[in-house]
Structure 1
Amino acid sequence: MQAKTEKQVAPAKTPRKRKKRGQRSRWMYLLLAACLFLCLLAVGAGYALNQVDKTLGEVTQDPYKLPDQPVVEQPYEEQKPISFVIVGLDTRKNIGTLNTDVLVVAVANPVTKKVTMVSLPRDTRVQIPGYPGYHKVNEVFALGEGQKKLAESKGQPVTENGMTMLKKTLEHMLGVSVDHYVQLDFEGFTAVIDKLGGVKVDVDRDLVYELPKPGVYRSLKKGTQVLNGEQALGFVRHRIDRRGQAYNSSDYDRNRRQQQVIRAVADKMVSMDGITRLTEVLDTVGKHIKTDLSKDQIKGLAMDFGTISSDHIVTLENGAIWSSPYSLWPRENMQAVRSTLQKELGVAETSDKLSDAAVAEIAKVEMKKETRSQAAKPSTSPQAGAAKQKTEKPSAPAAKPKSETPADSAPAPTPVPDEGTGQDGETYPSDMPPPDILAPPAPAPDGADSGQT
């Protein structure tokens, strides 16, 4: 009986065989799932590559290529730095102008994997090569576009436009070639940040500002937070505060916030969250960005710089000060910016005569001489003298963009008052730039929309 019993126990090995078969089945399922996942990744990558090519075809349609310039597909050189200017243009219907609110000159160095950039205050005093007088840098683009339209209206060859004039003005100031441009409009700025799911920034203080819609206000509270596209645009462009002049932001606050948001976008793009939103961002980018970089250059830059964080972005201090009606840079800051950009580009210091129109120590002397010479002009009659005094008195029209000046005549140098004057004759401190939009006339009612959105 005992032997029979032991013989019946033998089938006990069967469950172990089933267990091994079950393990093999699970591994087969995992392997199959992994293969399917890789296939999905391949399909997604194929779609992304197709979307990239489509987007690049849109953004590289250069609207500022001069008629006599040949179409050349420039290759990306892995060891060669690239310089470019980032231009933020307000093109919103019934609101925007051709003045450039954001100007950043940058050098991308693929060897050091660094992007070095400097922001230019919109009121920086500059000279346009071949044109008389001095101008604010944010009006140069508009003047160039005026020259283009004038040539077209007269049936003459177009040899100048906004971007070509802006590039050569910046080169004349900084002593480095500005090889390319990247133009972004404000609608694209807000759309890209929304597609990224917002960006995390540290808001330096409470802000209350008006949206493009008259009478609609928003507020931002001090502190680190995630801003959506509308909030980020309000943050970088804030000038006039609802609560009064004491809360206004200067042009230099704008520059600092622009760089802050650029860094935040860079960090978001290299995060996993940013990568998963890549195709949505690409679809948006194509509608709002224009550049004269080639497809190959953009792809090369993406490979070399697509995964760098804000730690690899170097910002240069312009040290700008306000001396109505211009922003001026201390000599040491101008020299440091020039030498650093030249070093990053790998070029020697230029022997050409550069414009020192923005150098504070030189510009202030020139501006005083200009004011004295205007005041010393004799008048031929009491009426003429009265007219002269009226002309030299700073008033609201003096703050209008130069883009309203007829394109066939270059504007004369702007008179230099002792103190800044804004719209409606409101006077601003002489050490701060005047605001660029009208201040709200009255405090917001209790029921006004001032919350974040």
Structure 2
Amino acid sequence: MLKKSLVIIFGVFLVIGISFMYRINASIDQTEINLNHDIPGIEVDEEIGDSPSVVSETNTEEVVVEEKPEDFYALLIGLDFRLEPFTLNTDTIIVAHVIPQNKSVKLLSIPRDTRIDFDGQLLNLTSYRQTNPQFAKINSTFSDGYQHTYIESQKDPSILSGKYLKVNNAWLHEELISSGMIVLREEVEDLLDIEIEYSFLVNFQTVVSLVDAVGGINIYVDRDMQYDDSVDNTSIHLNRGQQVLNGQNALNFARFRQDNRGEAFYSSDFDRSRRQQEVIQALMDKIASWENVNKVFDLLDIVTENFKTDMNKTKMLLLVKDFYGITSDSISTVPFEGNWQNPYVVITDEALDETRKNFKSIQPIDEKTELTSQ
């Protein structure tokens, strides 16, 4: 009787385990985006992304060489996409240096107004770029890629595969979104002198949904925030102090920059970048806590709906395994030493070199070490 009961219990757990893995695999499949489309005027670095396993041939036998964990760079793009009014802003641009060797991650936030050299040679921008084509704000380059492919598709519809992605309840051609990601990725690579292996596109709605799903996050609001915008229905009203923020208030905290009370109360792009990282770290801690283990499927559904990446499923599952249980203690931030020179954030060559050096190092940042921001 006991043996029969154990068999039944084992069978139940087996079915649950298979269902769990099937659900995870199905969810991850829906997050994939192809960044290797053949779009006229957009060059794709074929070396970027996942490569096949290294195989050596000895006699007639194939020997698969296991790859050692290596550090890599990933780009996190926070997209604020809305149909009415039509907006295609990437106000959150965060680069992650993922270091499996010591299970740590370095984050670098690039201010959205960072000035870049952008002469338009890659894209045919003359039809819609209104600013000086020699310079651009880095957050405009995603839209440039999107618009470029849209214009090209009007000339030749065959460049569109017919695959659509759902972004904030709108269905958009995959090539439009992937082109935006590619152009922004290349500009970030040039700026930081790195090769980005994976890109992640996250709709701002993800923050709201995830934070609400885990019951809110504990954040210290560093100042009173009062801002309303009737055009996009933004309403931010937060008081200073330690508090638990729901999803919408967490997003408001991360996006805050202007204030109803005038320019004297405005917040800088650097402050906003810091707040965005604080939200990410607080959310990671909350998701990693045991109290939310039973909500894993809800979290998967939210991610599937609002998250796209060119990282393959195998790599993603391996990273989840390697970094399971990671908390904010394993995450450090590297400052971006720019200065506001209206209408751009400008970083000097010396400061950029220091930022690159600190970000590229696989060694954790020693808080006692004086960086250029201190």
With the shorter chain as reference, the TM-score category is 0.7 to 0.9
Give the Cα–Cα distance (whole angstroms) in 1 for the partners of residues 152 and 272 of structure 2.
Answer: 35
Relative to total residues, which structure has the larger helix share, 1 or 2?
1
How big is the shift at 1:320? 1.9
Corresponding residue number in structure 2 for 1:49 = 21
Are 1:80 and 1:109, in contact at CA under 8 Å, matched by a contact in 2?
yes
Q: Give me the CA root mean square deviation.
A: 3.0
Match of 1:320 among 334, 338, 341: 338
Give the Cα–Cα distance (whole angstroms) in 2 for the partners of residues 195 and 40 of structure 1.
Answer: 27
Give the Cα–Cα distance (whole angstroms) in 1 for the partners of residues 37 and 311 of structure 2.
Answer: 15
The amino acid across from 1:247 in the alignment is: F
Corresponding residue number in structure 2 for 1:353 = none
* Percent of residue pairs identical: 30
How big is the shift at 1:215? 6.7
Corresponding residue number in structure 2 for 1:182 = 200
Corresponding residue number in structure 1 for 2:190 = 172
1:144-223 paired onto structure 2 within 5 Å: 144-155=145-156, 161-210=179-228, 217-223=235-241
Are 1:203 and 1:221, in contact at CA under 8 Å, matched by a contact in 2?
yes
Pair 1:38–1:314, CA change in 2 (3 A): farther
Give the Cα–Cα distance (whole angstroms) in 1 for the partners of residues 14 and 259 of structure 2.
Answer: 50
1:92 and 2:92 correspond: no
Tell me which moved more, 266-275 or 330-339. Answer: 330-339
How big is the shift at 1:340? 3.1
2:196 alignment partner, SS class: coil
Q: Could you tell me the TM-score, scaled by structure 2's length?
A: 0.75
Give the Cα–Cα distance (whole angstroms) in 1 for the partners of residues 37 and 335 of structure 2.
Answer: 34
Corresponding residue number in structure 2 for 1:277 = 295
Are 2:258 and 2:267, in contact at CA under 8 Å, matched by a contact in 1?
yes
1:344 alignment partner, SS class: coil
Corresponding residue number in structure 2 for 1:228 = 246
1:66 and 2:40 correspond: no
Pair 1:156–1:127, CA change in 2 (3 A): farther
Pair 1:105–1:197, CA change in 2 (3 A): same
Pair 1:330–1:45, CA change in 2 (3 A): farther
Are 1:78 and 1:110, in contact at CA under 8 Å, matched by a contact in 2?
no
Give the Cα–Cα distance (whole angstroms) in 2 for the partners of residues 44 and 129 of structure 1.
Answer: 55
Are 1:75 and 1:296, in contact at CA under 8 Å, matched by a contact in 2?
no
Q: Whose radius of gyration is greater, 1 or 2?
A: 1
Pair 1:99–1:218, CA change in 2 (3 A): closer
1:254-311 deviations in Å (ceiling 9; x for gaps)? 1010111111011112111232221110011101000000001111111111311101
How big is the shift at 1:155? 1.8
How big is the shift at 1:40? 6.6
Corresponding residue number in structure 1 for 2:255 = 237
* Unaligned ranges ≥5, structure 1: 1-27, 346-453
Give the Cα–Cα distance (whole angstroms) in 2 for the partners of residues 264 and 216 of structure 1.
Answer: 23
Corresponding residue number in structure 2 for 1:349 = none
* Unaligned ranges ≥5, structure 2: 54-66, 122-132, 160-174, 364-374
1:84-143 deviations in Å (ceiling 9; x for gaps)? 110001112314522211000111111121111100101000123763511100001111
The amino acid across from 1:112 in the alignment is: N
Are 1:75 and 1:297, in contact at CA under 8 Å, matched by a contact in 2?
no
How big is the shift at 1:144? 1.2
2:30 alignment partner, SS class: helix
Q: Could you tell me the TM-score, scaled by structure 1's length?
A: 0.63
Pair 1:155–1:343, CA change in 2 (3 A): same
The amino acid across from 1:195 in the alignment is: A
1:381-420 paired onto structure 2 within 5 Å: none
2:329 alignment partner, SS class: helix
Give the total of aligned pairs.
313
Pair 1:236–1:216, CA change in 2 (3 A): closer
Are 1:186 and 1:233, in contact at CA under 8 Å, matched by a contact in 2?
yes
The amino acid across from 1:143 in the alignment is: D
Pair 1:299–1:216, CA change in 2 (3 A): closer
2:253 alignment partner, SS class: helix
Match of 1:109 among 87, 92, 99: 99
How big is the shift at 1:173? 1.1
Give the Cα–Cα distance (whole angstroms) in 2 for the partners of residues 190 and 198 of structure 1.
Answer: 9
Relative to total residues, which structure has the larger strand share, 1 or 2?
2
